[in-house]
Amino acid sequence: MKVDDKFLRDLESKVLAYRARDKDSDHRKTYDEVFDRDTLMTLYDLMTNEVIDTLDFPIATGKEGNVFRATKHSGGYLAVKIYRMSNATFNNIQKYIAGDERFRNLGKSRRRTIHTWAQKEYRNLERMRNAGISVPEPVVCVKNIIVMEFIGEDATPAPHLREVEIPEPEKIYANLFGSLKKLYRKAGLIHSDFSEYNVLMRGGEPIIIDVGQAVLKTHPMASEFLTRDVYNLARFFRKQGMDLDEKTMLREITEDA
Ligand SMILES: Nc1ncnc2c1ncn2[C@@H]1O[C@H](COP(=O)(O)OP(=O)(O)OP(=O)(O)O)[C@@H](O)[C@H]1O
Ligand SMILES: [Mg+2]
């Protein structure tokens, strides 16, 4: 793509405006790590193709990526997850891609691995939605950027399960246990990083996020990952006063599946 004056002006006003406003040097460092040249180009493509109009503010900075709220041309919001090309924890990523037959022919290049990783998350979102599981609706995935439904109340990002009061834990538990079960039995996947940190609460309903590391149930470490997910679910709801047994839960998920 040709880098002309308009490109630079648009980027200045749409992507980097809040970087300039933010005097905190840690934040600046993060922005500089996220917005490398290729990532800026991809964002610019998403803007010229009218997928998004502006990037508004960072919602969160994770180990491998940053999530931003974006505004659509038509108004309304989207969430944009950008995997950092610079310091993504590459080895961690490899563990979840190796062993997944969908990505058998992956080359060794770091760049390609990160693009594949973003695509894996996107495809996992699609597969989960098709199985009727409550996850953000995927919009598009280009290179290291995933655009998806913004989970929030109006303009504000939704809180995590761990941050909210839970008046009826049994109800939320039943919903999430049902999702893990459907995930395994219908989508043939295991989330592999399931916890109260990766569930957002919108209008009292739980929505599961962060599905990049979800693996097929044929993955060599599938049973270890499933056990960990189920333990995390049980641990959290036991703290809410529920009486739960992981072995029974695991059996119910996997029996005759
Ligand atoms: N679709 C979304 N709508 C609103 N907020 C979101 C959305 N997706 C992610 N977030 C927010 O961004 C945070 C980080 O997203 P996510 O967990 O997918 O990324 P991550 O880089 O894997 O993070 P971590 O390393 O902290 O697990 C979430 O905890 C949540 O607060
Ligand atoms: Mg997360």
Q: Residue with structure tokens 């924890």?
A: 89
Q: Verify that 114 and 173 share a domain, yes or no.
A: no
For residue 62, how far is its CA from the centre of ligand 2 (angstroms)?
A: 7
Q: Whose CA is nearest to atom 17 of ligand 1?
A: 210
Q: Which of 163, 152, 167 is nearest to 195 (CA)?
A: 163
Q: Name the residue among 223, 224, 227 with its Cα closest to residue 246.
A: 227
What is the extent of the structural domain holding 133? 5-153
Q: Are 167 and 201 in contact (CB under 8 A)?
A: no
Q: Which residues line ligand 1 (CB under 6 A)?
A: 59-60, 62-65, 67, 79, 81, 136, 148-152, 157, 198, 209-210
- Kindly list the averaged pLDDT for each block of 10 residues, start to end, along the chain of length 257: 61 64 68 81 90 90 89 94 76 66 66 91 98 98 98 96 97 98 98 98 97 96 97 98 98 93
Same domain, 94 and 142: yes
Q: Look up the CATH number of the domain holding residue 236.
A: 1.10.510.10
CATH number of the structural domain spanning residue 105:
3.30.200.20
Give the span between the Cα atoms of 89 and 7, in whole angstroms. Answer: 31
Q: Both 145 and 170 in a single domain?
A: no
**pLDDT of amino acid 41:** 86
Q: How many CA atoms lie within 13 A of 43 on its CB side?
A: 28
CB 61 within 8 A of CB 29: no
Ion ligand 2 neighbours, Cβ < 5 Å: 198, 210
pLDDT of residue 1: 45
Mark whether 125 and 28 lie in a shared domain.
yes
Report the domain count for the chain: 2
Q: Please tell me whether residues 36 and 136 are part of one structural domain.
A: yes
Residues 144 and 162 both lie in one domain? no
Q: Please report where in the chains the tokens 């590459």 appear, as a residue.
A: 90
Residue 24 CA to ligand 1 centre (angstroms): 22
Residues 207 and 92 in one domain: no
Amino acid code (one letter) for 113:
T
H helices of the chain, where? Answer: 5-14, 17-21, 25-34, 37-48, 90-97, 110-130, 169-185, 222-239, 246-254
Q: Does one domain contain both 113 and 16?
A: yes
Three-state SS string over 157-189 comes to ECCEHHHCCCCCHHHHHHHHHHHHHHHHHCCCE
Integer Cα distance of 186 and 1 in angstroms:
42
